[in-house]
Amino acid sequence: MRFILSIVLCVAILGAFPLSSDSQASNLDPSFYKNTCPSVHSIVRGVLRNVSKSDPRILASLVRLHFHDCFVQGCDASILLNNTATIVSEQGAAPNNNSIRGLDVVNQIKTAVENNCSNTVSCADILALSAEIASVLAGGPDWKVPLGRRDSLTANLTLANQNLPGPSFNLTQLLSFFARQGLNITDLVALSGAHTIGRAQCKFFSSRLYNFSGTGNPDPTLDAGYRQTLQSLCPNGGPGTTLANLDVTTPDAFDNAYFSNLLSHKGLLQSDQELFSTPGANTTAIVNSFSSNQTLFFEAFKASMIKMGNIGVLTGSQGEIRKQCNFLNSNSVGLANVASKESSSSEHDGMVSSY
């Protein structure tokens, strides 16, 4: 009987993932580099395996970097662009500033790829591949990453500040921000499960410990013992940069313990605990199912990562293949000026094309 119920839950949850109708996304193909750069997967894996030995946190950081890229202009590596005379970098946006990590590792991967397959693999595809390989190296699921993205000619600081959900968001806000990207309630819960690895700075959750929603009291949904542990780690008025494990149980293992933590009211960020503790929320049943069935979570996470990786992609003759991920190719500056004007004109109505 339990097996039958698991199958029913799996069909119900995975059935919530509509096939992408984005014609550009449909051009992506896991075998895109089969002939032009057949070693790209092993190159990315080799760099990440080596870096993660001394910095296991980098695996979570690269999954997050892909997420922060895709939610702004689509999965086009715009987050990697540095400030220049024609580019205002997304790295200075509030959700990214002194927060995103892994830019140097992406550059290391890009250099290794260029040495083997020059002018072939986009930085956007490197981000997507890095996220998948990071999942596997942390013990999580693997999937065939659709490839063939091209890199943007612009960045968008305004959208980076507008489109990335925050750690203090309530469930209504989270659902709204995910819906903007064509992602549904199952995507929200599954992708939040990436917090089964990684760390967060005290400043992103300290209000839960001392002044939740301006009440002057702690968040009542937070387990008392866990709260006291966090308060010792993050004293009121402290520096705010101390790191805490997002998953208190198995912080460096990609598993479903994140969801079990939510059931115990030990979600580190408010945006985590909201998935389970919001009264009457449809997310509660999904959290319960992922907590009791890791395979179900892994399958949903794979589907949601592929779906997210299809957001607003550039393909064909769009964009470019950057030689260096932090800068446009020298012959693309003129195109960037035109694209930047088009991007600026699309910001005023708050809509993002291709989402």
- Dist CA 299 CA 321 (whole Å): 31
User: Between 90 and 346, whose confidence is greater?
Assistant: 90
User: Between 316 and 352, whose confidence is greater?
Assistant: 316
Active-site residue identified among 66, 68, 195, 265? 68
Structure tokens at 163: 């489109």
Is pLDDT of 330 > 90?
no
Q: Phi and psi for 327 in degrees, rounded to 5?
A: -140, 150
In sequence order, what are the beta bridge partners of 243?
201
- Dist CA 237 CA 133 (whole Å): 38
CA atoms within 13 A on the CB side of 192: 34
pLDDT bracket for residue 24 (50, 70, 90): low
Reported residue count of the chain is 355
Question: What's the average model confidence in pLDDT over 1-17?
Answer: 44
Write the pLDDT tens digit of every residue in 34-76. Answer: 999 999 999 999 999 999 999 999 999 999 999 999 999 999 9
| Residue 12 confidence (pLDDT) | 47
- Dist CA 126 CA 41 (whole Å): 9
Stated as kind and residue range, the H or E segment containing 244 is strand 243-245
Write the pLDDT tens digit of every residue in 214-238. Answer: 999 999 999 999 999 999 999 999 9
Where are the CATH 1.10.520.10 domain residues in the chain? 26-164+308-342
- Dist CA 241 CA 252 (whole Å): 19
User: What's the CATH fold of domain 190-303?
Assistant: Peroxidase; domain 2 (1.10.420)
DSSP string, 128-149: HHHHHHHHHHTT-------B--
Q: Does domain 26-164+308-342 have CATH number 3.40.50.720?
A: no
Q: Is 68 a catalytic residue?
A: yes
Structure tokens at 173: 């806000």
Where are the CATH 1.10.420.10 domain residues in the chain? 190-303
